[in-house]
Amino acid sequence: MLNSVKACGHHRSRRTFVADLGLGFGGMALGSMLGQAAANSSETEGLKQAHQGPSKAKNVIWIFLSGGVSHLETFDPKPLLNKFAGKTYDETGFPNPQKLPIYLERSRSVVGFDREVISKIMPLQVGYRQRGTLGCEVSDWLPHLGSMVDDLCIVRSMYTTDNDHGAEFQFHTGRHTLDEQQPTIGSWVSYGLGTINENLPQFVFLGQYKDPRVRKDFDANYLGPSHAGVELSLDPQNPLPFGVRPASIRETEQKNEYAFINRLNKIAEAEYPDDSQLRARIRAYELAFQMQMSAPEALDIARESVATERLYGIDNESTAIYGKRLLTARRLAERGVRFTLVYLSDYGEWDSHSNIKELHARSCSRVDKPLAGLIIDLKQRGMLDETLVVCATEFGRTPALEVTSLNKAGTGRDHHPHGFTIWMAGGGLKRGVIHGATDEFGFHAIEHPHYVTDIHATVLSLLGLDSRTLVIPGRQRLDIDFGTPIREIIA
């Protein structure tokens, strides 16, 4: 073979020529469609599998509600909000939470001002009652999920530090918008554990979005694109939103083309055995054809019973799309996908600066039955013990009524990073527990407060990984990046 090929006025190496030739075959390979044909950083080579210990969970279904769910109108209602409605914090006789030292410690503004300076208390916009044997107070907007509290682990003491919507990405990476970014939790799981099923990606993203920033939620950053989330659609005939086999090309033809591309890459690999980029490219092509065969079956929820579809609310127009995403996540977990990120909302859907009563009620009705259905389904199939479910949001909503020059309606709540709630289930966690607490107004996380990376560390620990050993030479991680597993909630 030639040592170089002259093109476009400059020389390219034989390896580059061969690799580019492979990529040129119709653009069908998932190298571009999956984002896995690019470099798998040499910094990560040889380090995988070195961090594993005993595990309680095999895979994770990570559910995210974008925009900021009000903890006060879901899992952490505060009756004092009704008692002191219309009063300022100073008028209640309780310490003003905005004047406590932790107020500034847990908030870094990216918009040039503190968002929570409004202090006129807003009453609860929905009723609530105690649920389950533990008597957990749950919103009347969540009747189905409320009936499942004895299977949930509810953490009421989360906090983050970004007071704007960079908090969404902070929940996935652990880093503030103003700091150098890091890989997402799903990418760390992919890097640390690798795959169970060679025919499916190890990290999948399910959901639709209009804002391209959502891709940050499944970005591998310096771990390399081979550890980024792979976007799958819900259409079993077209599982890859960025490319499918054209109807004009038969399956056997595509298989032969992939085989030829692989032969070309193998020739280059023999000459460059230490080239991690080439190894990642070869793996991408191998996965490409395998996914063409296996992904349609995994995504075909028509194979499920009518009863199962009803369980997820797929028979109802308002819940169908979210039910389909969660049922697909269960099917992927069943087939060995390590980490499935389910985007269970539109981008910013829960950001109820105004009209929170109507908007939150609507959003709760869309996710309530599908979420409960997932837990019930996993239990019925004996999967809950090994499948860890995490349902998170970027921050809560402030106890105060939001009335500003930009929002004069006075019917909503602003962003609130100082204290909010998430819940988890299965995968080695205790069931039917409430961990941590916010203060009397739901303002500050005061009992067992947890920064977002404590959730990361807990997930990794349940998977048999130590977050503090997941480091890449030359890549600095801060102490807060590692987090601390929440031992009190692990069974």
Q: How confident is the model over 448-476, as pLDDT tens digits?
A: 999 999 999 999 999 999 999 999 988 98
Q: What are phi and psi of 320, to 5 degrees?
A: -60, -50
| Tokens coding 379 | 């239990």
User: Does the pLDDT of residue 85 top 90, yes or no?
Assistant: yes
What was the pLDDT predicted at 197? 81
CATH architecture of the domain 52-236+300-489 equals 3-Layer(aba) Sandwich (3.40)
Q: Answer with the residue of higher pLDDT: 189 or 276.
A: 189
What was the pLDDT predicted at 37? 40
Q: State which H helix or E strand residue 82 sits in.
A: helix 80-83
User: Does the pLDDT of residue 2 top 80, yes or no?
Assistant: no
Are residues 470 and 50 in contact, defined by beta-carbon separation less than 8 angstroms? no
User: Does the pLDDT of residue 24 top 70, yes or no?
Assistant: no
Question: What is the pLDDT confidence band of residue 62, given thresholds at 50, 70 and 90?
Answer: very high
Bridge partners (DSSP) of residue 64 are 343, 392
**DSSP string of 161-199, one letter each residue:** SBSSTHHHHHHHHS--TTS-----HHHHHHHHH--S-TT
Q: Which residues of 412-441 are buried (b: 16+ CB within 10 A; e: fewer)?
A: bbbbbbbbbbbbbbbbbbebbbbbbbbbbb
> What pLDDT, in 10s, does the model give residues 392-413?
999 999 999 987 666 676 899 9
| Tokens coding 262 | 């692989």
> What pLDDT, in 10s, does the model give residues 287-310?
655 666 678 888 899 999 999 999
User: Does the pLDDT of residue 114 top 80, yes or no?
Assistant: no
User: Does the pLDDT of residue 153 top 90, yes or no?
Assistant: yes
Q: Which residues of 284-316 are buried (b: 16+ CB within 10 A; e: fewer)?
A: bbbbbbbbbebbeebbbbeebeeebbebbbbee
User: Which residues lie below 8 Å from residue 135, measured CB to CB, with a gap of 6+?
Assistant: none
Strand ranges inside 199-288, DSSP E: 203-206, 230-232
Nearest-CA neighbor of 48 among 341, 483, 460, 465? 465
What was the pLDDT predicted at 116? 55
What was the pLDDT predicted at 27? 35
Cα first-last separation, the chain? 60
Are residues 272 and 13 in contact, defined by beta-carbon separation less than 8 angstroms? no
Question: What is the pLDDT confidence band of residue 54, given thresholds at 50, 70 and 90?
Answer: confident
- CA distances 469 to 113, 226, 256, 335, 465, Å, are 37, 20, 42, 28, 8
The model's pTM is: 0.84
Are residues 275 and 42 in contact, defined by beta-carbon separation less than 8 angstroms? no
What was the pLDDT predicted at 465? 95
Question: What is the pLDDT confidence band of residue 163, given thresholds at 50, 70 and 90?
Answer: confident
Q: Answer with the residue of higher pLDDT: 487 or 116.
A: 487
What was the pLDDT predicted at 38? 39
Q: What are phi and psi of 140, to 5 degrees?
A: -65, -15
Q: What average pLDDT does the segment 101-112 reach?
A: 77
- CA distances 405 to 111, 339, 354, 387, Å, are 15, 43, 13, 46
Q: Percentage of the chain surpassing pLDDT 90?
A: 63
What was the pLDDT predicted at 353? 92
Nearest-CA neighbor of 188 among 418, 476, 467, 413? 467
Residue found by looking up tokens 């013990």 in the block: 385
| Tokens coding 410 | 């006075």
User: Does the pLDDT of residue 356 top 70, yes or no?
Assistant: yes
Max Cα-Cα span within the chain: 83
Question: What is the pLDDT confidence band of residue 260, given thresholds at 50, 70 and 90?
Answer: confident
Q: Give 69's DSSP letter.
A: -
| Helix, strand or coil, per DSSP, at residue 413 | coil
Q: Provide the residue type at 9 as one letter.
A: G
What was the pLDDT predicted at 41? 40
Question: What is the pLDDT confidence band of residue 219, given thresholds at 50, 70 and 90?
Answer: very high
**Alpha carbon distance 260, 254 (integer Å):** 10
- Residue ranges of domains in the chain: 52-236+300-489
Strand ranges inside 47-202, DSSP E: 59-65, 128-131, 136-139, 152-159
**Alpha carbon distance 330, 387 (integer Å):** 9
Class of residue 27 by CB neighbours under 10 A (exposed 0-12, middle 13-18, buried 19+): exposed
Question: What is the pLDDT confidence band of residue 391, given thresholds at 50, 70 and 90?
Answer: very high
Q: Percentage of the chain surpassing pLDDT 70?
A: 77
